[in-house]
Amino acid sequence: MIIGLTGGIGSGKSTVARAFETLGAAWVDADDVAREVVLPGEPALLAIKNRFGDQVIHEDGTLNRAALREIIFKNPEQRQWLESVTHPRIRERLLEHLEQLKAQGAPYVLLVSPLLFESGQSALVNRAVVVDVPQGLQLSRTQQRDGVSESQVHAILAAQLTREQRLAKADDVIDNSGDHASMMEQVAQLDKSYRQQLNY
């Protein structure tokens, strides 16, 4: 069974994924894979460089993500172009990782993705878990963690589904606005439920 794990920026998806991992689940993070497909030597990086020029490439040949983010969040057409180049490659690579993890014998595998629904990756999963926090908490956590401006956080939020839309698509919800113990308890309940469904 593949479980999609999603949530808005700053909701604590990685923390929740690690909590599932402590109970025996395996996971792959779409953000990590998104970074993989734009590494030096990858076709996607070459396409990005050809379109935007050296301004989006660091001196060491790696992608300047901050410079690219500036461009695509100001221009929806550029963002659509970027997604048309990266999303199919991310999907292909995710499938490879998921197959490898399944072969390792975990009871179920998590696909952690901030754009699970937006990117169509939800078609790859059997159930979708949404990690939910109020928007004010998303803002403060993201600014603290990433050192980005409030306007950049709002731009990122605008590119994602609204909290209401995401919750409407969820099979399961984890409220991550409380303390660590509360989150762990919710994860343990879901883990138990998934194992029962799998007779594991």
The span from the CA of 155 to the CA of 74, in Å, is 8
At which residue do the structure tokens 């939020």 appear? Answer: 157
12 marked as part of a ligand binding site:
yes
* Torsion over CA: 68, 71, 76, 77 (sign): negative
SS3 24: coil
The span from the CA of 144 to the CA of 139, in Å, is 9
11 marked as part of a ligand binding site:
yes
Question: CA torsion 115→120→124→129, rounded to 10°?
Answer: 40
- The string of DSSP codes covering 65-103 is HHHHHHHHHH-HHHHHHHHHHHHHHHHHHHHHHHHHHHH
7 marked as part of a ligand binding site:
no
13 marked as part of a ligand binding site:
yes
8 Å CB contact between 107 and 197: no
14 marked as part of a ligand binding site:
yes
Question: CA torsion 38→163→174→144, rounded to 10°?
Answer: 60
Q: Which residues are annotated as a binding site?
A: 10-15
Q: Which residues are annotated as a binding site for ATP?
A: 10-15
